[in-house]
Structure formats: structure tokens, C-alpha cells
Amino acid sequence: MTKSTQQAPDASADYYKQLLNSIDDYAVFTTDKHGLVNTWNSGAEQLLGYSSSEIMGKDSAIFFTDADLKKSVDKKELQIAKKSGSAVDERYHVRKDRSVFWASGKTFPLMDTDGKHIGFTKVMRNMDERKLADEQLNYVRNYADAIVSNSRHPILVLRDDLTIYTANQAFDELFRLRRTDRKSLNITQVGRGFFKLPELGELLDKVRQSGHKIEDFELTHEWPSIGKKSFLINASLLPHRANNEQLILFSIEDITERKSLEQQKDDFISIASHEIRTPVTVIKAYAQILQKRAADASDQYLAGTAGKVNEKADKLMSMVTYLLDTSQLELGELLIRKSHFDIVELINESISELRLIDNHTLLAKGKKCANVLADRFRISQVLNNLLNNACKYSPPDSPVTVNVTINTNKNQVTISVTDSGIGIPKAEQPNLFKRFWRASSATSRNIAGIGLGLHVSKAVISQHRGNIWLKSEKDKGSVFYFSLPLAHGS
């Protein structure tokens, strides 16, 4: 290594002094042969906290930590610099207020014009932020590693050429791989053809070529290696690494058991609701006969009681219908039979029927006619669900308003049902149309319900190419809307 041959500062060194002070990102100072400070720039003052007058003549060893002083790191550094022309270091240093910081530094020997060693120059830079960033990066890396390796779901990271970059233990267990065996293995060689499935190939191509994110892709297949299984697959590109290598993150969730339980539940719901329907229909028929006979015999008490039985049988029937609908929905079999009708007329009918059994102030507003081509029974199911909910989740006697508006540009009709009831917390609203889902505002008040009406309503409206949505706030009431295309020529 060539030795540095810097010149000692002299009285005419104002120029150098100015130069050194201008680089205040760096602490630059010189010492004599024994390490006693003899020049000091503004960067050194900022970094180490001593003013020039305070530090002059002091031993530069005071910038070292006690631990380093014990090991004579300060002296060794000067020796190395003198011997090798420079000494490079990265270590903690100490400020005037005894706080420590991480610094990178370089020490050079200083020679006079005759080449005689007269001292040292030290250049020091605060690397606290870099060190902190490195530490944080390391922490995040370890954190991510811990999540991946502890995940019960198989996780895999692939290179662009489809060789395995890394995988977790759950992945190894699923495909009975040994960690050492899978290193740089091509994915098509894993799980006796698991990844050779065309659907998976297409999926990977999509991610690789367009950066497309794959979310919850469901895959059911009978594999020779692992049997019939259902998986939920998520895949996305990982941010480019420094070397521009593109990685694909792939997670596989085994949902075989969950699917089979759901299937059992759907089968049960479907069978049970079919079985309940028949006796309920019979109860309804008898209640109607009773009601008629009671009316003929002018027995008001009996007529009223039979009427109640009839009403409750209707409720039971609508619940059973929802249950049947949801199991049909799971199979994608919800049948729609369309006919032309005026939806305002249907609304008026529903309101009149509801008035017979409910004390809310039910109001109809807006357009007086709106013709649609839709399934009248299904739309009345949606309307009744929204009206019943508005009554169920708001104080008795409070107003419930149905409003009909028409958007001629979009050629659609929008129906809204407004109540001033318990509302739904904002955070829970995205879940509202999920099967069996109920809001905390309803469950905390023990209001009975099964969380199927809105799920079925959404499916019905979607099948009509319409939309269903809501505006609601906890304790401030709700407005449920649904829109439908108007019939041509309306």
C-alpha cells in the first residue's frame, strides 16, 4: 500500500481550514504524533460536541469507548495508520456528552515537507442512521423469515426460471421434500407433477408476465402423489431485488377439510329445509281452513288465533326458503323466472301486507310507476327482507320509508329503504352480504336473525344485473338501496 504523504498545517493554511470547515458532514481533525488534537473542523465540532478551543491539545483517545480503550484500540489505530499508510474502522465513538454514535473513519499519517512523521489526520462520519437502517432491515428480514417458517400453510418463493429459491417447512411436509433436496429444484419436479397442472402453469405465467396478483384461486384436483385435495392459491411478484432478479411468492392453503365440512353443512341445510317445507305447508293449509270456518261461525278469537298460526307459518316458510336458497346458491342454481311488472305496485303490495302485522309508519315515496323485466317472486323476497330488517332493527312506531327513483341515463330504477334504527358499524359493513353474517349492533341487542336474507338478496339482485348497497352509521339508522335495469320501452 502506498503511504499517504500529507503536509502538516502551517500558518498560511487558511485555505485548507476553510475547505475543511465547508465539509461539515465529516469530522476532520489532526493530531500530533502522540494523538493530541491540533486542528479541528466545524464538522468535528458538530459530531463530537467539543468546540475548537476546548479540544485543542486534548488526547484523541477521549473519543473512544471505555471498552475500546481497555483493548488499546486508539493506540493500535495510530500504529496501523503509521505502518500501512491508513487505518480504516467502523465502531462506536463517544461525544462530549458521553453519548455514543456509530462512525466510519479513516486515519492517515501526517508528514512534514521532509517526509518526517509529525502526526495524524482523522476523518470520521456519523453512520448512526445507516446502522439503524441496517439493524431495522435485519430485524424485518428475521421477522419475515420467522413468519414464513412458522406459517402452517406451505409458502414457496420461486425464481423466474421456476427453480425454488426458498420454501418453508409446511411446503416440505406437503410434498415430502428434504430441505437439502429442494435447493434449486425446478418446481415441475416437485410433488410428482403437482405443478405440471395446466391451470397452475397458466397462473404462474400470468404472475410472471404481467405482474398480475393471484388472490384465492381455488383448485381441486386428484393428484397421484397426494390424492384429491382442494387448495386456495395466492401468488404475487416480490419486489425486484438489487440484482434485478424477479421472485414469485406462492402460498398454498389446504382447504380440503373445510370444503368437505361446508359441503356437509350445505347438504344438511338442503335436506332439512326440504323436509320442513312439507309439514309447514300442511300447517298453513289447516290454519287457513280454521280461519275460514271461524269467520263463518263469527268466532273472532278463533279467527285471530288461526290468523297468528298462519302468519308464523309464513315466517317459518320464508326462513326455510332462505335456507334452501343459500344451499342452491352454493351450487350456483338459483333460478330466475322473469316477467314484466311494475315494481312500484309490488312495493305498495309489500307495504300493505306489512302494515297488517307491524306498527311502523311505513311510507312510499318517489316515482309512481317503474316497469322492470325481473323475477317478481325473487324481487318481492328482496323487498320484504329489506322492509322486515328496517322494522326489526329500528324502534317500533318509527318511520320506514321506501323511495323509488329513476335514472334515465343508466336506464335503471333504484329503490331505497330508510330506517332510523340501530345502524351498522362502518367497519363491519363490508361483511354484510356474507352468508350467516350478523352485525354486532344486532347480536349485542339479542335481536333474532340468521344472517341469510341479505346474502340471498345480493345473489338475486346480481342475477338481475343490478346492484345492492347501503349507507349506515351505528345508532343513526340505515338506508339500503338496490337498483335494477328498467324494462325496454319504460
Question: Rule CB under 6 A: which residues touch ligand ADP?
Answer: 385, 389-390, 393, 419, 421-424, 432, 438-439, 441-442, 449-455, 478
The C-alpha cell that represents 115 in the structure block = 517526509
Which residue's CB is nearer to ligand ADP, number 123 or number 432? 432
Sign of CA dihedral 61, 64, 69, 75: negative
In whole angstroms, what is the distance from residue 361 CA to residue 401 CA?
8
| Long-range contact set of residues 182-188: C-beta below 8 Å, sequence gap at least 24 | 186/161, 186/162, 187/156, 187/158, 187/162, 187/163, 188/162
The C-alpha cell that represents 104 in the structure block = 466510519
Minimum gap (Å) between residue 480 Cβ and ligand ADP: 6
Classify 117 as helix, strand or coil: strand
Minimum gap (Å) between residue 387 Cβ and ligand ADP: 9
Which residue's CB is nearer to ligand ADP, number 31 or number 478? 478
The β-bridge partners of 247 are: 159, 238
Residue 241: enclosing H or E segment and its boundaries? Answer: none
In single-letter form, the type of residue at position 87 comes to A
Q: Rounded to 5 degrees, what are φ and ψ at 245?
A: -75, 135
Which residue's CB is nearer to ligand ADP, number 27 or number 417? 417
Minimum gap (Å) between residue 473 Cβ and ligand ADP: 10
In whole angstroms, what is the distance from residue 378 CA to residue 181 CA?
58
Which residue's CB is nearer to ligand ADP, number 87 or number 390? 390
* Short-list 89, 90, 110, CA closest to 3: 110
Q: Write out the E strands in 288-409.
A: 339-342, 361-366, 371-374, 399-407
204: number of Cβ within 10 Å: 19
* Short-list 318, 274, 324, 326, CA closest to 436: 326
Minimum gap (Å) between residue 442 Cβ and ligand ADP: 3
Minimum gap (Å) between residue 265 Cβ and ligand ADP: 17
Minimum gap (Å) between residue 330 Cβ and ligand ADP: 16
Minimum gap (Å) between residue 244 Cβ and ligand ADP: 49
Q: Rounded to 5 degrees, what are φ and ψ at 57?
A: 85, -5
In whole angstroms, what is the distance from residue 378 CA to residue 372 CA?
13
Q: Is 481 left (phi over 0), alpha (psi -120 to 50) or beta?
A: beta
Q: What is the DSSP letter of 60?
A: G
Which residue's CB is nearer to ligand ADP, number 393 or number 482? 393
Minimum gap (Å) between residue 304 Cβ and ligand ADP: 27
In single-letter form, the type of residue at position 403 comes to N
Which residue's CB is nearer to ligand ADP, number 248 or number 402? 402
Which residue's CB is nearer to ligand ADP, number 61 or number 390? 390
Which residue's CB is nearer to ligand ADP, number 47 or number 432? 432
Which residue's CB is nearer to ligand ADP, number 109 or number 421? 421
Minimum gap (Å) between residue 490 Cβ and ligand ADP: 29
Minimum gap (Å) between residue 156 Cβ and ligand ADP: 38
479's CB contacts (< 8 A; 6+ apart) are: 416, 417, 418, 419, 470, 471, 472
- Closest residue to ligand ADP: CB criterion: 449
Which residue's CB is nearer to ligand ADP, number 126 or number 441? 441
Which residue's CB is nearer to ligand ADP, number 86 or number 385? 385
Residue-wise burial string across 253-281, b where 16 or more C-beta atoms lie within 10 A, e elsewhere = bbbeeebeeeeeebeebbeebeebbeebe
Within the chain, how many helices (H) and strands (E) appear?
Answer: 14, 18
Minimum gap (Å) between residue 408 Cβ and ligand ADP: 29
Which residue's CB is nearer to ligand ADP, number 287 or number 456? 456
The C-alpha cell that represents 19 in the structure block = 475547505
Minimum gap (Å) between residue 393 Cβ and ligand ADP: 3
